[in-house]
A and B are shown apart, each in its own frame.
Chain A
Amino acid sequence: MTIGPLKVRDLVVEFIHDGYAIRPLDGLSFGVEPGELVVLLGPSGCGKTTLLSCLGGILTPTSGSIRMGELDVTKMKGKQLDAYRRNDIGFVFQAFNLIPSLTARENIAVPLILTGHGRTASFARADELLEQVGLGDRGGHLPSKLSGGQMQRVAVARGLGHNPPLLLADEPTANLDHIQAEAIIRLLQTLRDDGRMIVVSTHDSRLVPIADRIVHMVPPDQHEERPTHDVTFAAGESIFEQGDSAQLVYVIKSGEVDVIRILADGGEEPLNRLGPDQYFGELGPFLGFPRSASVRARGDVVLTAYSARVFREKVLHKT
């Protein structure tokens, strides 16, 4: 088992979608030491799975770097990435993703066989891992004959097949009841204690207490309550830009604003023009998403800025 540490620096992933750019990851940095369990915490759509795909060498980031020990993952290509995934990474996918035609034992052994390991050694390793995850007597069962928790344990065992130094788990407790989730959490603790690095993406707060480190995919200050205040912008001034983290909701007291979509080629697409008593920018703070458009003052404008909670109580519920 090659030992880390894993270092992520200024990671940016940008997709072009329907002509405009979206950035699920924008300048993310964090590190994982050997024997650490790191939880990526955040709501759906905040880029957790995108980050796991980058860490696993499945997705190439737009910029930034991922290093594991001496390996610069972001500089790898083709067969190097195949080898990295084959040797250094274990995946535990959301929804188990076991192959339905293979038994539990074969689900662990077949990926090993297909990646060049001997048949006998692969099955011996599968038996060993099934014992480790407490399913020694279930090796001959098809996934359809296993409970959700058992399937997830087989998925974890499959991820550990080649004894990787880094285990990436995507929502490992998402489809499980609390008893099954507890078993998986205990299993992850044990694996961490073996000196392995584990990165878990989740929006399940039950995983937080066992984490050595938490990476908030949505900045924590976003949730902090800021007092209601008035703010003034001069003509042409930017109120916020597309892709900014969303914290405040604005109600126009006077003046007009233009809502603009910034296109991937740098062009601008006007979306709306708003005037007094109209509001904008509410969805980002409500959903934890970055701004989906830019807003600029058309002339001099005065706005009232609300936190999401206050806006919901004082403005939305009044109307």
Chain B
Amino acid sequence: MGGHPPGIESHRMILLTFRDLVYRKTRFIVVTVLGAVVFALLFVMTGLVNQFNLEPAETVEQFGADQWVLPEGVSAPFTSVSVMPAAALGAVDAATKSPVVITRSSVAQGDGEAPEEVVLVGFEPGGLGAPQVVEGRAPEVEGEVSLDRTLGIDVGTEVTMSSEPLNVVGLTDDTTVLAGIPFAFLVLPEAQMLAFTTTEVIGAVLVSGELGPLPEGLASVSPDEVVAQTLQPLDGAIASIDLVRALLWVVAAIIVGAVVYLSALDRQRDFAVLKAVGTPNSSLLGSLALQAVLIALGAVALAAIIQIFLAPRFPLPVTVPVRAFWQLPLLAVLMALAAGAIGMRKVLRSDPSQAFSGAA
């Protein structure tokens, strides 16, 4: 039975790898679960950052404007105070334009309930900036309000805003900014009175289509710029989450690397025996690498299930992007191979003469 030098053929090492996984199953299960917890947190953190990035884009898109006309020096209406005379509307040269009011306020439900912070948006019914309600209808007259669904307030509920009683007539989705501050939509005059106690002031002019030259003191910004400016206050939070994500990758690498190294240590005699009988390093390294990859993929698969239960329990909205479900396993495989390198080096260095030594 003559042997010939084998190439790196994965099927040759599958049996050895699989049997070792079964033999040391307790260790591998514990490590896979540990890894899964870390990867689940990575999924959630990724979903959190994704939600931070998605949130202003989805919200700004709902206003339906091609340009936002703001007082000069105001970069975004959601993060700075934006006030201009209502008469400025006439000076804006555009076929389709709508005035809006955007300011911070709070809404309370019933007596004794703690008020919740909202972004108050005043709009002209039928104009740009009108809410795209998913339940009920948009406010048509004073005394009506539509709220973002995350407030958990149903249509038909009475709420108060700055002591003004309002009837909830509609609900919107994806109308939040700054990590979950929900929007409340009112008709423009009522919003003007609540925000400025006068109807002579507006916050911005939304424009659709061509925009002519603007008078002095006004400037236009694109929706993308509004989105970017709205994200700016969250830069520190996103950077912190990115740092936590990097640390979680390090923890995952340590977990996988440690188990691969321990496996290499435990199997040093086995590898020495196999080397002594002529098994090439590539097959032995392949077996260890395959083990690392299987652990990483097993942990990611389990993590994908854990995150389904974990994400809703987070106080902030979490939207795990679809790309995370292929990027994370891919990165996990690369990380497992890198982390397992120390263990694999141990295999490369194992001396076949060790097969002759040792007691039973």
Contacts and interface: CB of A to CB of B under 8 A. Distances in A.
A91 B277 contact: yes
B358 A116 contact: no
Given A58-B353, A82-B278, A93-B273, A114 B283 contact: yes
Contacts of B12: 113-114, 116
Contacts of A175: 359-360
A312 B1 CA distance: 55
Contact of B277 (A86, A95, A101): A86
Given A97-B269, A111-B277, A83 B15 contact: no
A93 B358 CA distance: 10
Nearest to B273: A97
B359 to A, nearest CB: 5
Interface in B305-358: 352-353, 355-358
B6 interface: yes
Contacts of B279: 111, 114-115
Most chain A CB within a 10 A radius of its CB, from B19, B269, B353, B360 = B360
Contacts of A111: 273-274, 277, 279
A165 to B, nearest CB: 12
B16 interface: yes
B76 to A, nearest CB: 61
B356 A93 contact: yes
A72 to B, nearest CB: 18
B270 interface: yes
Contacts of A35: none
A95 B12 CA distance: 26
B239 interface: no
Interface stretch (B20-28, B61-69, B135-143, B173-181): B20-28
A100 interface: yes
B16 A114 contact: yes
A53 B273 contact: no
Contacts of B24: 101
Nearest to B269: A97
Contacts of B15: 106, 110, 113
A115 B1 CA distance: 11
A99 B270 CA distance: 6
Interface in B266-310: 269-270, 273-274, 276-280, 283-284
B25 to A, nearest CB: 10
Interface string A57-101: 011000000000000000000010011111101010111110111
Interface string B1-42: 111111000011101100110111000000000000000000
Interface residues of B, number: 35
Given A85-B278, A91-B277, A100 B3 contact: no
Given A85-B276, A110-B16, A113-B12, A94 B356 contact: yes
A239 interface: no
A52 interface: yes
A175 B6 CA distance: 34
A295 B2 CA distance: 53
B277 A85 contact: yes
Nearest to B352: A58
Contacts of A91: 273, 276-277, 355
B310 to A, nearest CB: 34
Interface residues of A, number: 43
Contacts of B20: 101
Given A53-B353, A85-B278, A163 B16 contact: no
A119 to B, nearest CB: 8
B274 A170 contact: no
User: Which among B3, B22, B357 has the highest number of chain A CB atoms within 10 Å?
Assistant: B3
B5 A79 contact: yes
A101 B23 contact: yes
A100 B16 CA distance: 11
A119 B9 CA distance: 12
Interface in A95-134: 95-97, 99-102, 106, 110-117, 119, 121, 125
A83 B2 CA distance: 10
Contacts of A89: 277
A299 interface: no
Contact of B5 (A83, A95, A162, A170): A83
B13 A96 contact: no
Given A97-B269, A114-B283, A115-B279, A163 B1 contact: yes
Given A58-B276, A100-B23, A112 B1 contact: yes
B16 A125 contact: no
A170 B276 CA distance: 13
B2 A95 contact: no
Contact of B3 (A53, A56, A86, A170): A86
Contacts of B16: 99, 101-102, 110, 114
A125 B1 contact: yes
A116 B4 contact: yes
A121 B1 contact: yes
Given A86-B277, A101-B20, A110-B16, A162 B356 contact: no
A29 B225 CA distance: 87
A161 interface: yes
A200 B284 CA distance: 28
Nearest to A82: B278
A112 B283 CA distance: 12
A148 interface: yes
Contacts of A94: 356-358
Interface of B: 1-6, 11-13, 15-16, 19-20, 22-24, 269-270, 273-274, 276-280, 283-284, 352-353, 355-360
9 contacts: A49-B357, A93-B355, A97-B270, A97-B358, A99-B273, A111-B274, A112-B1, A114-B13, A117-B3
Given A59-B353, A114-B283, A116-B5, 18 more contacts: A53-B353, A58-B353, A58-B356, A82-B280, A85-B278, A91-B276, A91-B277, A93-B273, A97-B358, A99-B274, A100-B270, A102-B19, A110-B15, A114-B274, A114-B279, A115-B3, A115-B280, A162-B1
